[in-house]
């Protein structure tokens, strides 16, 4: 880029919150540095801007209906954002016009060029879709004036194209049903972010949501469930029926609506797993014959389509043929994930088919996994026969599928590497970063939540150039187990979808989180304008506490948009009359810091942090053991920063050790009398996170010669131990004086026999270490 974001903002502020040269009406200047960030921006900061007036005309090529529709979209955006009703015409205006053109000489068919001067704006694209993306850039570059001032655009040029050709977003309507009208709103949200594929997950254990005329029971029976579990791990149900499905005509309407916005709808019929709604409708398609019911809980179920039953295969072919009649998408997604093989291992039909095919267990693939690969391969033949491509989740790699299968890599970031190396075109959507409905990661707040998406790199450095070329796209996903309404849907999407759009569209070499955050305020204001519900903790103050001098804590307060911040240190609620934050400040001793941002009279939620001091808090600390690289975060200082964990081991408030002890030495900086040491841990046995099996304490006055003063053993967690439990481990000893204290916490060596991962290595997550 030729100009920096901050330089252009400064120029804008100085030059154009002013009166235009040809009118006495006040003019507000927009900003070309939108989300997603265009590839190349050159601003002419001394040139006059293009001012949008009621006389402005959007010109499109006569006879091109798509470009006419593009022009109408742009006119509606300008009216919504700037409050100005402009004209639309197929005749070229003499001046003050926005010209929409296609140019087949542009090498990237989704790329566009924009030239802005005081007289006109020209958006020239390699296709009508490319022009639409240019329109979205202009749309987001406009200042929100609501007709109070005239909106204007800085003079300059943009040369832009997407980093990936596949830019997707998934919405699951199987667990919870969403109306046609609301899905149209979602499609508009996707268009705002230059997303070009809407992945529509239509079927689940909990509900079948698309009309199939050859199999009417799928919607008569399979689209209804009697109730839903109220929370993860609960044994309570809400006694509220859930139902709903889309007729084929409604599905075609969604396809049409999306296509007008250059979004392709990819249907997903998940098979052979996640099929309880199908089996409840047609029990003869399962291995046992039932009885089955539409699932009322969430998870992975053992009952799946029978892989050895010809009727099951014919069912899949029939359904997909009707699906392909509805959806013109080049991709048809057939799931392939989370298909347990217990039923197949005991099913005579499945085992007969395995013998017929001559399948044998190999070190890489069980014969049942190979049966699934065969089943999917047969289904793929029907898809290919219609000129389409098959998409599937990455579990399909367990059965050595055909190289023609495009893989969605979701189970971990490493799977994208495996898939590309195996020769598959790959779409990257790891649960760890791009599943916006992931309950664990949804507990991240504010900037940290957005940063987890923004800082993810879709293309792994260790891939060769040939392998990198197989990473064809990036996708975000929302699964609706616990998402029943549009408000929760949207706060899970926004503002993280803004970060996602930069992964999908923008140049990764220009990635800069602070720059992105500087552009995010306007995007949030657009969300508000359009009535979208973004997760408002992004507006909250971030409190960052680090070690200062002589055991002091140094407190830094910030917001993503540099809003005014007010704070207290006595635990009282901050107001506009509280201390205004200007620079980092020191504190010492146990206390509660509260902070609030106030933007034009609008208050954020209160953010607070409580410091709990021990003699070790904020003192120099060194580690003799190595933390897991994925859970190191700030490093050793996390362990004695005085901040208790937040109940989310992924948040950066805990340090994680994989099959390794925690071994820390703290310099108290002067001789102190001590009689107790403690290690606070966090227990999530379901995620292989166990507690301590022992503690040891050593003391020294010179930091070189240490003597053991105490030790204890701690029993391994018992069967039935709950998840997400903080544990305060203490070790008392006779009073002794020391300057240096070494504290060792013993990691559980291997998972116990009662655990599903028995014999595997365990994690140890440590919150705080201290002495009293």
Active-site pick, 80, 253, 338, 676: 338
Tell me if 435 sits within 8 A of 479, measured CB to CB: yes
Angle 128-141/513-529 helices, nearest 10 degrees? 90
Give backbone dihedrals phi and psi of 734, rounded to 5 degrees, phi first: -60, 150
Residue with token string 């990455």: 394
Tell me if 135 sits within 8 A of 77, measured CB to CB: yes
Residue with token string 């839903």: 228
Tell me if 334 sits within 8 A of 269, measured CB to CB: yes
The tokens of 35 are what? 């989300």
Tell me if 609 sits within 8 A of 545, measured CB to CB: yes
With b meaning 16 or more CB within 10 Å and e meaning fewer, what string describes 712-741? eebebbeeebeeeeeeebebebeeeebbbb
Tell me if 738 sits within 8 A of 699, measured CB to CB: yes
Write the CA distances from 378 to 350, 385, 398, 589, 620, integer angstroms: 15, 11, 16, 68, 63
d(CA 10, CA 13): 5
Write the CA distances from 397 to 74, 201, 232, 336, 410, integer angstroms: 44, 20, 29, 9, 12
Q: What 8-state DSSP symbol labels residue 132?
A: H
Tell me if 334 sits within 8 A of 268, measured CB to CB: yes
Cβ partners under 8 Å of residue 453, min gap 6: 433, 434, 476, 496, 499, 500, 503
Give backbone dihedrals phi and psi of 497, rounded to 5 degrees, phi first: -65, -25
- H/E stretch holding 457: none
- Residue 338 known to be catalytic: yes
Cis omega (within 30 of 0) for bond into 495: yes
- H/E stretch holding 58: strand 57-59
Three-class SS state of 383: helix
Three-class SS state of 754: coil
Instruction: Give the angle subtended at the CA of 171 by the CAs of 166 and 172, to the nearest 5°.
Output: 130
The tokens of 472 are what? 């064809």
Tell me if 287 sits within 8 A of 303, measured CB to CB: yes
Which residues are part of the catalytic machinery? Answer: 338
């Amino acid at each position: 880029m030729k100009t920096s974001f901050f330089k252009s903002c400064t120029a804008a502020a100085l030059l154009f919150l002013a009166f235009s040269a040809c009118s006495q009406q006040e003019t507000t200047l927009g900003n070309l540095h939108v989300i997603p960030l265009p590839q190349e921006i050159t601003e002419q900061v001394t040139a006059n801007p293009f001012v949008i007036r009621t006389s402005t005309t959007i010109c499109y090529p006569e006879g091109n209906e798509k470009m006419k529709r593009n022009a109408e979209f742009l006119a509606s955006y300008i009216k919504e954002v700037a409050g100005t009703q402009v004209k639309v015409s197929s005749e070229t205006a003499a001046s003050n016009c926005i010209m929409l053109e296609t140019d087949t000489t542009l090498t990237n068919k989704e790329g566009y060029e924009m030239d802005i001067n005081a007289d006109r704006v020209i958006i020239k694209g390699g296709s009508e879709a490319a022009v639409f993306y240019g329109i979205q850039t202009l749309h987001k570059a406009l200042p929100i004036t609501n007709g109070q001032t005239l909106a204007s655009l800085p003079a300059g040029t943009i040369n832009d194209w997407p980093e990936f050709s596949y830019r997707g977003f998934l919405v699951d309507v199987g667990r919870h049903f969403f109306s046609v009208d609301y899905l149209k709103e979602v499609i508009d949200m996707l268009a705002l972010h230059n997303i070009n594929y809407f992945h529509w997950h239509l079927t689940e254990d909990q509900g079948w949501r698309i009309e199939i005329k050859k199999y009417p029971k799928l919607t008569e029976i399979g689209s209804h469930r009697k109730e839903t579990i109220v929370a993860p791990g609960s044994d309570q149900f809400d006694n509220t029926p859930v139902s709903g499905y889309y007729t084929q005509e409604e599905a075609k309407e969604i396809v049409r609506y999306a296509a007008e916005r250059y979004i392709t709808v990819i249907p997903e019929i998940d098979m052979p797993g996640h099929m309880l709604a199908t089996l409840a409708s047609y029990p003869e398609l399962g291995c046992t014959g039932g009885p089955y019911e539409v699932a009322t809980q969430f998870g992975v179920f053992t009952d799946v389509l029978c892989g050895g039953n010809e009727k099951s295969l014919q069912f899949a072919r029939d359904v997909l043929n009707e699906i392909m009649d509805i959806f013109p998408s080049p991709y048809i997604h057939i799931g392939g994930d989370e298909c347990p093989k217990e039923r197949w291992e005991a099913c005579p039909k499945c085992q007969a088919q395995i013998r017929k095919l001559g399948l044998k267990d190999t070190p890489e693939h069980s014969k049942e996994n190979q049966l699934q690969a065969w089943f999917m391969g047969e289904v793929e033949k029907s898809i290919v026969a219609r000129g389409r491509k098959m998409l599937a989740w990455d579990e399909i790699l367990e059965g050595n599928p055909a190289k023609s299968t495009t893989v969605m890599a979701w189970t971990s970031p490493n799977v994208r590497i495996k898939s590309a190396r195996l020769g598959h075109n790959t779409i990257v959507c790891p649960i760890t970063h791009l599943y916006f409905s992931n309950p664990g990661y949804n507990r991240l707040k504010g900037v940290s939540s957005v940063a987890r998406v923004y800082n993810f790199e879709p293309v792994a450095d260790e891939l060769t150039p040939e392998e990198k070329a197989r990473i064809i796209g990036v996708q975000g996903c929302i699964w609706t187990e616990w998402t029943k309404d549009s408000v929760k849907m949207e706060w899970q999407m926004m503002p993280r979808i803004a970060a996602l759009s930069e992964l999908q569209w923008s140049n990764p070499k220009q990635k800069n989180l602070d720059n992105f955050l500087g552009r995010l305020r306007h995007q949030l204001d657009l969300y508000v304008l359009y009535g979208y519900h973004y997760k408002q903790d992004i507006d909250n103050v971030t409190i960052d506490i680090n070690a200062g001098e002589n055991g002091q804590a140094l407190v830094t307060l910030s917001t993503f948009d540099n809003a005014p911040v007010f704070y207290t240190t006595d635990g009282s609620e901050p107001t506009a009359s509280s201390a205004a934050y200007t620079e980092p400040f020191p504190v010492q001793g146990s206390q509660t810091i509260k902070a609030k941002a106030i933007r034009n009279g609008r208050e954020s939620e209160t953010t607070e942090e409580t410091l709990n001091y021990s003699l070790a808090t904020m003192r120099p600390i060194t580690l003799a053991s190595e933390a897991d690289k994925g859970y190191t975060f700030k490093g050793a200082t996390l362990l004695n920063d005085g901040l208790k964990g937040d109940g989310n081991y992924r948040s950066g408030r805990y340090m994680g050790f994989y099959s390794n002890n925690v071994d820390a030495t703290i310099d108290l900086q002067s001789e102190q009398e001590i009689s107790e040491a403690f290690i606070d841990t966090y227990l999530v046995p379901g995620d292989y996170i166990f507690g301590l099996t022992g503690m040891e304490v050593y003391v020294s006055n010179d930091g070189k010669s240490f003597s053991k003063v105490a030790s204890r053993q701690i029993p391994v967690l018992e069967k039935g131990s709950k998840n997400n439990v903080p544990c305060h481990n203490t070790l008392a000893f006779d009073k002794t004086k020391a300057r240096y204290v070494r504290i060792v916490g013993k990691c559980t060596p291997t998972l116990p026999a009662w655990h599903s991962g028995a014999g595997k290595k365990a994690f140890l997550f440590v919150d705080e270490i201290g002495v009293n």
